[in-house]
Amino acid sequence: MQEVKFEYSAEVMEEYAELGKAKLQLVGLDGNAWSIMGAVGQAMRSAGYSNQAKSEMVKDATSGDYNHVIQTALFWTDSPEDEEDDYDPDVDDLVVCVICGEEDYPENMERRHGRVYCWGCEEDA
């Protein structure tokens, strides 16, 4: 794959250094190049970028093929932080026994017919 070189004015690159990447979930967007550039432009506006930065982004994106549009979008944006990032394996992996309500890790429980039983309750089931 050919290396892509982005060329923007010094003012726009100063903005980029100050503001960083705009937040945009690219997965699930309409794949039309103009739709992608519009979504990137909206994300840039929300992040505080100037009109000059947005117009230079569009000029750069349209200077190549569809792959260049995607690479330009990836240059300017990053996926929003997933709210699920606070995963805690000590809490999130626990399962509950259907008989006594005891919580434990799945490897310490038994699953039969879609139900979870702790080892102490399995004889009662």
Pairing of strands 22-23, 77-78: parallel
Quote the CA–CA distance of 47 and 86 in Å, as a whole number. 24
Q: Is 40 helix (H, G, I), strand (E, B) or coil?
A: helix
Domains and CATH numbers, the chain: 10-83 (no CATH), 87-118 (3.30.60)
Nearest in space to 52 (alpha carbons), one of 22, 11, 24, 96: 11
Report CA Rg, the chain: 25
Q: What mean pLDDT do residues 2-30 have?
A: 89
Tell me the pLDDT tens digit for each residue of 81-95.
755 555 565 555 667
Nearest in space to 54 (alpha carbons), one of 80, 66, 68, 46: 46
pTM: 0.63
45 phi/psi in degrees, rounded to 5? -60, -45
Q: What is the pLDDT of residue 48?
A: 96
Q: What is the pLDDT of residue 28?
A: 87
Q: What is the pLDDT of residue 11?
A: 95
* Burial zone of 77 (CB within 10 Å; 0-12 exposed, 13-18 middle, 19+ buried): buried
Furthest C-alpha separation in the chain: 73
